[in-house]
Amino acid sequence: MTLIAVLDYEIGNLRSAQKALEHVGADARLTTDLGLIREAAGVVLPGVGAFGRCMQALRRHGMDDVVLDVVERDVPFLGICIGMQMLFERSEETASEPGLGVLPGTVRLLPDHVKRPQMQWNVLERRGDPPLLADCPDPAWAYFVHSYAADTDDVLVTSTCDYGGPVVASVGRGRVWATQFHPEKSGRTGLAALAAFVRSAAAAQEAA
């Protein structure tokens, strides 16, 4: 079984991501153990709630440096929901709290003409052939709960959804992937995405 470390910074329902990864066959561990994280084939950063509180909790537990180390070592990494937003440089939700800066861009409030939060199922519009979404059904329905979304370079965007206009639903660069939607709540689409991540992590570890 492929070892996947789910970073534990004691905020939100982190176990739901762990359980979904177990469901697709991973040995998923909710952990702060640096040794175990270094052994893992892939690392996952979930997140729910407010950007600022999540960033503060991440830093309080020293997990910010862990994320940067994982990315620097080119270990497959997956951010989920606020875990995706924290990868960017900043968020309008908490301007005083910088993001991790792994990816360029700002997380911005959804426009005034739509209901906030987007709390619904929506269809993913894939861009190109992103490996994380390759085995997802067509149409690929995913579940969203968010009021903010990434504003980033188009080249990083692997899918969007239509919510009063295109909204970034997932991004990817190298072995860093992230989803604004919740794969652990997204049925067949989410499980297919998580399974693809686990396979990519296993392949990367085998090739190392």
Q: Please work out, in degrees rounded to the nearest 5, the angle formed at the alpha carbon of residue 73 by the alpha carbons of 95 and 16.
A: 60
- Strands in 106-109's sheet, in edge-to-edge order, are 90-91, 106-109, 148-151
Tell me whether residue 113 is one of the annotated catalytic residues.
no
Which position among 125, 146, 182, 206 bears the catalytic label? 182
Q: Please work out, in degrees rounded to the nearest 5, the angle formed at the alpha carbon of residue 136 by the alpha carbons of 6 and 134.
A: 85
Tell me whether residue 182 is one of the annotated catalytic residues.
yes
Amino acid (one-letter) located at 205: Q
Tell me whether residue 81 is one of the annotated catalytic residues.
yes
Q: Please work out, in degrees rounded to the nearest 5, the angle formed at the alpha carbon of residue 203 by the alpha carbons of 182 and 207.
A: 145
Which position among 61, 92, 184, 206 bears the catalytic label? 184
Which position among 54, 81, 136, 161 bears the catalytic label? 81
CA 65 vs CA 58, 61, 156, 188: distances in Å: 9, 10, 23, 33
> Scanning the structure block, which residue is given the tokens 């697709």?
24
Catalytic residues: 81, 182, 184
